[in-house]
Structure 1
């Protein structure tokens, strides 16, 4: 299932969302959903490696010189700390499932992943603190668009609890 998500999110990102350009600078980055959906208890080294591969493949198709790879690896590395912040120590238990948490916690977790990713991505892309307002504008607007699209995709493809 993870391999299918991996390939589908790459295809959707490259074929659809990289072609969109709302207001001249907003391109939602939906491949972050893979990092959101990845199982909690899987091998962390494998997860970080897969995150690098995901970002690297997006970089190849986007011609962005490892910006996606660096951002993906960073949020993969920081994911346990973000989860601890959002879910408390509950996520460390074997029975923890993302689907058993509240909607607010799930949205907060996704939003923090997106903000962290976009902050690093646009800081590396622009690489000038004299353009801090441009970085913040891109983080806020692209992050909001990414969050909305990710929430729509998450709702569309989530499994309903009985």
Structure 2
């Protein structure tokens, strides 16, 4: 995923998919998949965080613009883009030296699962906390986080199984 054209295509295809297809899916008036966060998972690891933060902010801002959500997608996506290196170090035991050679394809499913689930739940919790912005709705925040995370993770793992070739 180090090719700039692939990253450009990933950015705009995830934006298009989220805005025009996934934002129109609403199960039980509360469950919505947010698959655009895959951009953070697939962006190449680098010591310099500025590019991922910038592109994550732009992607979130694009989703916010079309969803009329006032910046909460941008904020929540930028937060997980900022903390992802910490979780790469925790779950995959990688150092800065390993970053140019890191790929999710080479890691075990258990490590990938923990990494993706953690970042997804953090993103969704921040997103729904800002969307509700009230302690009176805390149960709604937790239930929306839980069920939307399950739906997002289901789509992510199905999509990665379909689009990843076994080599």
TM-score of the superposition, structure 1-length normalised? 0.94
Structure 1 residue 33 corresponds to structure 2 residue 38: yes
- Given that 1:122 and 1:138 are in contact with CA atoms closer than 8 Å, whether structure 2 keeps it comes out as yes
**Runs (5+) with no aligned partner, structure 2:** 1-5
- Given that 1:32 and 1:114 are in contact with CA atoms closer than 8 Å, whether structure 2 keeps it comes out as yes
Structure 1 residue 85 corresponds to structure 2 residue 103: no
Structure 1 residue 100 corresponds to structure 2 residue 106: yes
Aligned counterparts of 1:155 and 1:39: Cα–Cα separation in 2: 20
Structure 1 residue 124 corresponds to structure 2 residue 103: no
Q: Please point out which of 12, 21, 29 is paired with 1:16.
A: 21
Matched position secondary structure for 2:31: coil
Deviations 1:95-133 (A, max 9, x none): 322211101111111111110100100011111122211
**Runs (5+) with no aligned partner, structure 1:** none
What's the RMSD between the two structures over aligned residues? 1.4
- Given that 1:90 and 1:96 are in contact with CA atoms closer than 8 Å, whether structure 2 keeps it comes out as no
After TM superposition, where is structure 1 displaced by more than 4 Å over at least 4 residues in a row?
none
- Given that 1:59 and 1:68 are in contact with CA atoms closer than 8 Å, whether structure 2 keeps it comes out as yes
Structure 1 residue 158 corresponds to structure 2 residue 148: no
Aligned counterparts of 1:72 and 1:96: Cα–Cα separation in 2: 21
Matched position secondary structure for 1:18: helix
Aligned counterparts of 2:87 and 2:97: Cα–Cα separation in 1: 12
How many residues in Structure 1 have an aligned counterpart in Structure 2? 161
